[in-house]
Amino acid sequence: MKKILTCLIICCTVLRIRAENGHELWLRPRTALPVRVICERSSPALAIARRELEDGWVGKADASVVLAFTKDRAIKGDGFRLGQRGIEAKTDAGILYGVYELLRRQQTGLPISEEVCNPSYERRILDHWDNPDGSIERGYAGGSIFWRKSNPFAITDGDKVLWQQYARADASVGINGAVLNNVNASPLILSTDYLARVKAIADILRPYGIRTYLSVRFSSPVQIGGLTTADPLDPGVENWWKEKIKDIYQLIPDFGGFLVKANSEGQPGPQDYGRSHADGANMMADAIRPFGGIIMWRAFVYKASDKDRAKQAYAEFTPLDGQFRDNVIIQVKNGPVDFQPREPFSPLFGAMKKTDVMPEFQVTQEYLGQAVHLVFLAPMWEECLKSDTWQGGPGSTVAHCTDGSLYPQRYTAIAGVANIGLDSNWCGHPFAQANWYAFGRLAWNNRLTSGQIADEWLRLTFYPIQRQRKEPAGYQADWETHFLQPVREMMLRSREAAVNYMMPLGLHHLFSANEHYGPGPWWAPQKVRPDWTPPYYHKADTGGIGFDRTNTGSDAVSQYHEPLRSQFNSLFTCPDMYLLWFHHLPWSYRMRSGRTLWQELCYHYEEGVRQVREFQNIWDKVRPYVDDERFVLVQSKLRSQSSNAQLWKDACLQYFGQFSRQPIPPDIERPVHDLDDIIRDDTMRR
């Protein structure tokens, strides 16, 4: 009888789940109850806060909510105090963040108690890799929301609405900054026409507490300024930047500053003139200092070299520790290579004790299946933030090394490479929205767990919004049991599944040259620099596989503080998940599981494929709880992901099997693709 009742409830619910395309993200409109908002001040941000409360209140009907300002020393920056009567803060933005937190707790059923909520990082920034022509480098959700190829300087009402919706989504999770253009910056971004558009964007973002930033090309004084040099110690270059920055602040008084990629992947920089990164960053920092701006100088640097690419950022930047101005912050990718599915944390975290350092995560899934694969990235970022660097003794996590709690920093910041485009659901994949949400939540509170974030996002994004009548009795408990729990578990396992079917046991950079999507461990054209090819990283031969970074290899282990240095260096203590990152091992090496290394690789690839197939089953079972449009789209994406996982497994096991000369274990499913066909298809796509 109970089962029959449950089925009836589900069937009734299906009829009432409204169609959704995901454009509203986690901010779906609710049927609000009346509320009285009390605030003695007025401003654009406070007007938004009031409107959000009136449009989204689901607490006690006719309650009074007080928005008040305080000098409470326990509240830092744009933090706030949340209480039963309302919100206290020191800034307008703090009030707005408090309103979003209050509504989030109401809508997810979290308790609302007397509590101070301070941000972990002062600046919480999305880096958009958008180009002036409207394209997006590593963008998988359509064109840019900021720039257009045709009629690029016209600003329409549609543009303004989209920018406002974007700003609202950012503010709702605590993001307070946006770099509007690609780190591989076009000098055009600093031209008069483009700066006028930047001003228009900034005007829309400002009431939501969001500052605008720009990526700039170091050689801009030459390319658009008419100078013959971009030498940072040249007085003419210094003056050019001062005048350009002055022009920007006349348009945008709260402009945040510049993000700079220099002397990396062919980008110009101070080293072109025999100067250091500190020379280049400090020149720009001095020019922007009078206006309160900052320079975010990326540590993602490497040159064509026979040396270990993973060591280059540490080698270039640690000797400069203490030489940067205090309004320069070094932006460091989470790992030492390049946003791989799994890397150890960058050894720069904690090593630069006299310089402000900020983490850079990649929200767009360049190396994790892009907008096709369901991969929840919060576990990846949590793994990095909670990694102990040991630089200040035990407990010196990456989070503590960057949020000001271990070393004093004038500025604390964190950046995420955005996954946002013109697709109706913003991110290309309904579940890719969770990564935008997760970045904002971790940037605000780097102590949150992936489980907490997944739970919040699912409740806000998928719980059916009932507009006609009350839910059937017991529906919420049924939804939590049959939708929330299995889908949350799927999200939490999805990153590890991707590692399994792509690059387990510390393997990395095995991608095809075809946009970093599918497998290509064989790809190594003679005319391509070695560190852009997979064999540079996996070094597979008949003797074994893996990159030897021990003290008898490239010695990358020496860049880590003890006891990590010894732990990674030793086969007895190196974690399996980093084994082939730090060691080149024979195929017959006996793993902790008792299997050989070859067998262990086979079982990991098999497990990854099995996990994705299980995700398909989970999603099919939750059909009654999801609207048609989003259900069908995710179902289709999971089919593609399952097919691609199979391709990864077949390609890697057959390719590496040529070197191992060992059979695939008999209890593992046989490959369904021929290696020659995979290589031929990959070549044709290029």
Count the Cβ atoms, other than its own, within 10 Å of residue 368: 25
Strand order in the sheet with 115-117: 35-38, 63-69, 86-89, 80-82, 115-117
Q: Is 292 helix (H, G, I), strand (E, B) or coil?
A: coil
Residue 66, beta-bridge partner list: 38, 86
Q: Which two tokens stand for residue 50?
A: 């009031």
Active-site position among 231, 279, 316, 366: 366
CA 268 to chain centre: 26
Residue 544 near residue 597, CB atoms below 8 Å: yes
Q: Which backbone phi and psi does 429 adopt, to 5 degrees?
A: -130, 130
Q: Which backbone phi and psi does 299 adopt, to 5 degrees?
A: -90, 5
Dist. CA 195–CA 214, nearest whole Å:
10
Q: Which two tokens stand for residue 669?
A: 């499913």
Dist. CA 390–CA 381, nearest whole Å:
18
The secondary element (H helix, E strand) that includes residue 65 is strand 63-69
Active site residue 338: yes
* Closest C-alpha among 560, 134, 542, 106 to residue 310: 560
Q: Which two tokens stand for residue 318?
A: 């640690």
Cβ contacts of 685 within 8 Å, gap of 6 or more = 512, 514
Active-site position among 20, 279, 338, 388: 338
Omega into 663 within 30° of 0, i.e. cis?
A: no
The residue type at 203: D
Q: Is the dihedral of CA 313, 394, 381, 130 positive or negative?
A: negative
Residue 534 sits at the vertex; the CA angle it makes with 531 and 538, to the nearest 5 degrees, is 105
Q: Is 631 helix (H, G, I), strand (E, B) or coil?
A: helix
Dist. CA 177–CA 256, nearest whole Å:
8
Half-sphere exposure for 594 (CA within 13 Å, toward CB): 0
* Closest C-alpha among 20, 27, 23 to residue 440: 27
Active site residue 366: yes
Active-site position among 55, 243, 247, 265: 265
Q: Which two tokens stand for residue 408?
A: 């004093």
* Residue appearing with tokens 């599944």: 497
Active site residue 157: no
Residue 360, beta-bridge partner list: 333, 415
Dist. CA 488–CA 471, nearest whole Å:
22
Q: Is 67 helix (H, G, I), strand (E, B) or coil?
A: strand
Q: Is the dihedral of CA 258, 264, 266, 268 positive or negative?
A: positive
> What b/e readout covers 482-504, taking b as 16+ CB neighbours within 10 angstroms?
bbbebbbebbbbbbbbbbbbbbb
* Residue appearing with tokens 């001003």: 199
CA 80 to chain centre: 25
Dist. CA 153–CA 133, nearest whole Å:
11
Dist. CA 21–CA 6, nearest whole Å:
27
Residue 407 near residue 348, CB atoms below 8 Å: no
Instruction: Cite the active site residues.
Output: 265, 338, 366
